[in-house]
A and B are shown apart, each in its own frame.
Chain A
Amino acid sequence: EAQVTQNPRYLITVTGKKLTVTCSQNMNHEYMSWYRQDPGLGLRQIYYSMNVEVTDKGDVPEGYKVSRKEKRNFPLILESPSPNQTSLYFCASTTLSSTDTQYFGPGTRLTVL
């Protein structure tokens, strides 16, 4: 089954404790991205990757890092989480075909105390 998986699905942590949210897709997609969703602000893109070893900032990259060492994986790293990073996070992937649809993961609900 074609899918995007994220882990963990729920995480409660404390300020400053480094964490990684994993994202994996099994569709051989070149493009992967991370969004965060906050009440009243909708979904906003954090980072994206056009292919292995190619990453770039989205609209709200501050406080986040990403890496793309393998095509299927695109982890989101919070080196020193802060309470304003409490949010619902989604990973998405698609091919580089001009009109292909994007597939979203199930989401990771992060709370930073």
Chain B
Amino acid sequence: DAKTTQPPSMDCAEGRAANLPCNHSTISGNEYVYWYRQIHSQGPQYIIHGLKNNETNEMASLIITEDRKSSTLILPHATLRDTAVYYCIVTGAGSYQLTFGKGTKLSVIP
């Protein structure tokens, strides 16, 4: 019973913004949206998370729609090192198990 839906793959030109969408139409009020990425077969790496407000950190921005049914992860200036599988995960506060779907494979092209 998938909580999130992501496109299986996307391409982005190096230096351009990468916008990765995620649908989470069944999200409940106390659930957060987390983004992790996995570069090749390395351990997943946390990127950003949010509840309802847009968030920004040194790696990315997270835009959550007002109805919270979808969100977009933005990598403002994609580099080749951003090539990875990006996972959008919805989980409640106090729930520590991360349910990974298939994610979006982002390929940054020179």
Query: Would you call B43 and A48 a contact (CB within 8 A)?
Result: no
Interface contact tally, CB-CB below 8 A: 51
Query: For the complex, is A84 an interface residue (Cβ under 8 Å from B)?
Result: no
Query: Would you call A42 and B98 a contact (CB within 8 A)?
Result: no
Query: For the complex, is B101 an interface residue (Cβ under 8 Å from A)?
Result: yes
A interface, how many residues as a size bin?
20 to 34
Most B-side CB within 10 Å, residue of A43, A58, A90, A109 = A43
Query: Would you call A45 and B97 a contact (CB within 8 A)?
Result: yes
Query: Would you call A104 and B97 a contact (CB within 8 A)?
Result: no
With beta carbons under 8 angstroms apart, the residue of A44, A102, A103 that contacts B96 is A102
Query: Would you call A102 and B93 a contact (CB within 8 A)?
Result: no
CB contact under 8 A between A48 and B97, given known A88-B41, A104-B43, A105-B43: yes
Alpha-carbon distance between A96 and B94 when the two chains are bound, in angstroms? 7
Most A-side CB within 10 Å, residue of B34, B42, B46, B96 = B96
Query: For the complex, is A106 an interface residue (Cβ under 8 Å from B)?
Result: yes
Query: Would you call A107 and B42 a contact (CB within 8 A)?
Result: yes
Q: B25 contacts which chain A residues (CB < 8 A)?
A: none
Contact string, B28-43, partner A, CB cutoff 8 A, digits 1/0? 0000101000000111
Query: Would you call B46 and A103 a contact (CB within 8 A)?
Result: yes
Query: For the complex, is B102 an interface residue (Cβ under 8 Å from A)?
Result: yes
Alpha-carbon distance between A35 and B34 when the two chains are bound, in angstroms? 18
| Closest Cβ–Cβ distance, residue A51 to chain B (whole Å) | 12
CB contact under 8 A between A99 and B96, given known A42-B102, A107-B43: no
| Closest Cβ–Cβ distance, residue B40 to chain A (whole Å) | 10
Query: Which residues of A come within 8 Å of B, CB atoms?
Result: 4, 31, 33, 35, 37, 42-45, 48, 50, 58, 88, 90, 92, 94, 96, 98-99, 101-107, 109
Query: Which residues of B come within 8 Å of A, CB atoms?
Result: 32, 34, 41-46, 49, 93-94, 96-98, 100-103
Instruction: For the A-B complex with A35-B100, A92-B44 known, give 5 more contacts whose Cβ atoms are closer than 8 Å.
Output: A50-B96, A98-B93, A98-B94, A107-B42, A109-B41
